[in-house]
Chains A and B, each alone.
Chain A
Amino acid sequence: MMSTTMQTTPTIAIAGNPNSGKTALFNAMTGARQHVANWPGVTVEKKEGTLIKDGRTAQVVDLPGTYAFSSRAIDETIARDFILLEEPDVVINVVDATNLERNLYLTVQLLEMDAPLVMALNMMDEAEDLGLEIDVPGLSAALGVPVVPTAAVWRRGIDALIEAAFARVGKPRGQGFRIDYGPVIEDRIARLAEILTPGFCRGRSPRWVATKLLEQDSDILKELDSFGNMTALKSELAGALAAIRDAAGKEAADLITEKRYELAAKIAKSVASEPEVPRSSHVIDRFALHPWLAYPIFFGVIWAIFQITFTLSEPLTEAAGSLIELVGSAVGDFLTGMGLPDLITGLVADGILGGVGAVLEFAPPIFMLFLMISLLEDVGYMARAALLSDRLMRAIGLHGKAFIPMILGFGCNVTGILATRTLESRRDRLITILVNPLMSCAARLPVYVLFATAFFSSHRGLVVFSLYLLGILLALAAAKVLSLFLQEGEAASFVLELPPYRLPRLSGVLIQTWERGKEFIHRAGTVILTAVVVVWALSNLPPGTGPDSPYSLVGRIGSLLAPILRPAGFGTWQAGAALLFGAIAKELIVGTLAVLYGTGDVGLIAAIRANWTPLSAYAFLVMSLVYIPCVATIATIRAETGSRKWAAVTVAYTLLLGWILAVIVYQGGRLLGFA
């Protein structure tokens, strides 16, 4: 459809292989004018942004990186449906110049979809490093598509690419690119295309739909089933598949794939010399995948991530804490000075600001953690990490890629659960999400430190370590158990590309960190803030009571919980109330106890010593480790699994498991003669 003017903002979609530099290109085109959302109905990131150049504007959508457009994975379906059904004005195909053959495999599929293509032949800097000569005009001629060499990381070629993209807008869509699949298949495609109705094709070319049917694409077949009245088509299809099988000795899908790759390889070889992997990657991998150095390096990297994260973010966290205190008391004084009742003052100063403070205080470590992970991803080490973890993960019924979400869980369970999006199998993802709360997040550490200092001061490091270890063992065991019960759905295969190591581009990493961090703050923040206000209200009502009173609503709930907690050794209303607050955010357990015992930080240890014994303290710590995930985590589980059922399951099993373990520790300890 020819657009008469540029009245409507054109849409530019960016498609290409993972690791081809799509993100760098997207960042170069949109800069800070981008935001991350979800594709509707699924938990896949959708990146959109605005391009403004020389007075012209365009909406840019970064499609998920894919190797193909079948229905094997949801990423592929999203990308393909966007191109076919949303009909963007331009599709920029980002191609890794050092890996032409495999990248062109996707290109030919885009051409078959009649996508309005402009190619960004990216990573030209690496091609030059490797001494690769590429005949760009030849490539352009072979594909019938404008090809612009770029090095997106260094912002080279971007202007020319944008020019070419805008020039493409408004021109006719496809160029009639056709792959010759050989007489047998071509004949069958023609026959099927004849029977296909426009109603079924919905704007997609009949040839494309017919080809997909022969490939037995599961999404298209589902459409066929639900369309109804397609018996003629179905029998023609069955006949075609059988005929091809007989004639060629293999499935039509395989033949089609092979033909596509044949063409991709032919074009690649005709325009470029043979690619090779950069020497630096080989050298680094000799260590990263070394027979006995690999795992020490791996754990070293993980240790370094957490060290750097917590060390660098400490000053920020402290600053945030002081700031909130300052603002809190200033606001409190101001409101009291205005003569507002204590209840309102308290609500704003302690409730709302307290909630905001809780969130802001752990924002710095979260951002730092995202930054570290982003850096590692860009460098390319994450793929090696997944490779190294696969063996261990599979022993507990999971996938190599599940390791990163587990590790992130040590920082914050919310980020760990969000990170499961990289897992392709729904089953793997579900199990990893459900056991993530058992990974001891950073918020639980203050609780451990408090009690360990109070009772085990000389061995407190050991005590804290034992809790982390317990968490890991429980997570592994739970994963194994769940993988035995949740057999439905197949486990994902493990075919992982190891991209060459690359220097990360700081601006890209920062943008990504900011976007992810923003999403996290939004999710966690809204939930936590609401919860804090609610609990604040409960602890100050009925009027006249306060947080340190057993007669406030919180106190009463705590007292109700106390008998349940007695077998575990801490049957006090304060413990009950503290655990209740801990459901909002685990670090609130410490603050709550301080308030309930009416002490500041200093007197708290004495209060702990007066109300707990070493054994009941350890039982309490086990309970804090395992019982209920924080509300932010619960909300995330609900969002990422798409159902309340799994969030409820997690709440139930962690509560039960935490209580049982705490009771075992306490009662078992008493039987063994400990106090």
Chain B
Amino acid sequence: MSSQSRPLGELNPGERGTILSINCHGPLKRRLMDMGLTPGTEVFVERTAPLGDPMVICARGCRLGLRRAEAGSIAVMPCPGICKQAPVRRPRRGLRRNRWRHGRT
């Protein structure tokens, strides 16, 4: 790992970064990559479970629970502050009924 990269397992809630490499083998690597944790993907550490392990991260729009030890094999380039644009604030639908729940699709 380069001097600036850190293992995902060591990042704290609120930190985010871009995945550089997955440094493990076999089924774990397959599983991590199948869930979308590939080089170039942005990850955000949302929180940790009460006992400190596992941690909850966000990647590609979904939330994953991950053991710190296993997350340790993911090398990440941390981003200071905000890496990408702030989440889009979409207009609240207000009282308009959801077309899919109430017909009229």
- List residues of A whose CB falls within 8 A of some B CB: 67-68, 70, 72, 98-102, 105, 124-125, 128-131, 149, 151, 154, 156-157, 253-254, 257-258, 261, 265, 273-277, 281, 285, 289-292, 294-295, 383, 386-388, 390-392, 400, 490, 492-498
Asked whether, in the complex, the Cβ of A254 is within 8 Å of the Cβ of B33, the reply is yes
Contact of A261 (CB < 8 Å), options: B36, B47, B90, B99: B36
* B63 and A498 contact, CB distance less than 8 A: yes
> Is B91 interfacial (CB 8 A cutoff)?
yes
State the CA gap A518–B19 with chains docked (Å): 47
A494 x B65 contact (CB < 8 A): yes
Query: Of all chain A residues, which has the CB nearest B53?
Result: A391
**Does B82 touch A at the CB level, under 8 Å?**
no
A391 touches B54 (CB 8 A): yes
16 pairs from A and B in contact (CB 8 Å cutoff): A105-B36, A124-B100, A131-B90, A151-B105, A254-B29, A254-B38, A275-B61, A276-B88, A277-B58, A281-B63, A294-B49, A390-B65, A391-B51, A496-B66, A498-B62, A498-B65
Whether B47 and A289, one on each chain, are in contact in the complex, defined by CB atoms closer than 8 angstroms, is yes
Cβ of A149: which chain B residues have Cβ within 8 Å of it? 105
Q: Residue B27 contacts which of A67, A275, A292, A490 (CB distance < 8 angstroms)?
A: A490
Is A497 in contact with B34, judged by CB distance below 8 angstroms? no
Cβ-defined partner of A289 (8 Å) among B56, B66, B87, B99: B56
Provide the residues of chain B in CB contact with A98, threshold 8 Å.
61
Q: Other than the known A72-B30, A258-B33, A390-B65, what 17 A-B pairs have Cβ atoms closer than 8 Å?
A: A99-B62, A102-B35, A131-B91, A131-B93, A254-B29, A254-B38, A258-B39, A261-B33, A261-B36, A277-B63, A387-B54, A493-B32, A493-B67, A494-B70, A497-B62, A497-B63, A498-B56
A497 close to B61 (CB less than 8 A)? no
- Roughly how many angstroms separate A470 CA and B38 CA in the complex, as a whole number? 46
Most buried by B among A68, A261, A388: A261
Contact A101/B100 with A291-B50, A495-B65 known, Cβ cut-off 8 Å: no
Question: Which residue of B31, B38, B67, B98 is within 8 Å of A72 (Cβ)?
Answer: B31
B83: interface (CB < 8 Å): no
For B79, what are the chain A residues with a Cβ–Cβ distance below 8 Å? none
- Measured between C-beta atoms, what is the minimum distance from B46 to chain A in Å? 9
> Smallest distance from the beta carbon of A612 to chain B beta carbons, Å?
43
Determine the distance from Cα of A533 to Cα of B98 in the docked complex, in whole angstroms. Answer: 58
Cα of A387 to Cα of B46 in the assembled complex, Å: 14
**Is the Cβ of B38 less than 8 Å from the Cβ of A495?**
no
Report yes or no: B101 in contact with A151, Cβ–Cβ below 8 A. yes
**Contact among B35, B50, B98 for A67, CB-based, below 8 A:** B35
Docked Cα-Cα span, A322 to B49, in Å, equals 48
Which chain A residues lie closer than 8 Å to B51 at the CB level? 391-392
Q: Which residues of B contact A102 (CB under 8 A)?
A: 35-36, 60-62
A294 touches B61 (CB 8 A): no
Whether the pair A151, B70 counts as a contact (CB closer than 8 A) is no
Among residues of A, the one whose C-beta sits closest to the C-beta of B21 is A250
Residue B28, interface by CB 8 Å:
yes
Query: What 5 A-B pairs come out closest when comparing CB atoms?
Result: A131-B90, A125-B100, A151-B100, A275-B61, A496-B65
Q: Write out the residue numbers on chain A whose beta carbons fall within 8 Å of the beta carbon of B62.
A: 99, 102, 277, 497-498
